[in-house]
Amino acid sequence: MSLAGLSALEREIVVCRKCPRLVKWREQVARVKKAAFGQETYWGRAVPGWGDPEAKIVVVGLAPGAHGANRTGRMFTGDESGRWLYRALWKAGWASQAESTGRKDGLKLKKVWVTSPVKCAPPTNRPAPKERDACSGLFHREMDLLKEARVYLALGGFGFEAVARYFGLKPKPKFGHGVEVELPGGRWLLGSYHVSQQNTFTGRLTEPMLDGVMRQAAKRAG
């Protein structure tokens, strides 16, 4: 059963220490903290994916945010990127509430799983290729366990490439906002600009653009 498999994988992820640079960084951030969160206890470990084990849509980011998921222990939670993502999922009818603040906030996802190819927060949001590769086994096993998935919604080129690599796509498809790539078994890879502040604050990604990609995902997921 995928639930048991995903639970076992989660236990393995949260104790992973394969990448010395990432371990050092995530723990340093958890120790030093951001002033606004100075009284909080940071998660400071690798962050597993989460959501509905029977998800039809898998949202794939890049890696945990240093003061978001690395603080709260939940992907896309506790920072501006998460506010954008969960608000969009809520509007689409796939999240029980519009905001994700922590692992115990009561939020439930329906038919959606949220994850990333790299499970630890990287310095400057840039994992090294060897760190990406070290994490790929965990990511691929996660994808294998999400047996009902029909749409992989990649937020950014890094996640898009990771899904393409998982499916062994050749030639490698070109990332773009709204791009759709048909996958084996009637599944789809969709691209969206990442919900990072670099994109949302500059207007490169707007809420209507993100909502539009959610509609594409709904259509392809059936």
Residue range 119-160, pLDDT digits in tens: 999 999 999 999 999 999 999 999 999 999 999 999 999 999
Q: Give just the sign of the alpha carbon dihedral 80, 210, 157, 103.
A: positive
pLDDT given at position 140: 98
pLDDT given at position 2: 82
Q: Which fold has domain 2-221?
A: Uracil-DNA Glycosylase, subunit E (3.40.470)
pLDDT given at position 96: 98
pTM of the predicted structure, to 2 decimals:
0.97
CA dihedral 100, 106, 110, 113 (to 10 degrees): 50
Domain ranges (residues) in the chain: 2-221
Chunked into runs of 10 residues, the chain (222 residues) has average pLDDT values of 90 98 98 95 98 98 98 97 98 98 97 98 97 98 98 98 98 97 97 98 98 98 95
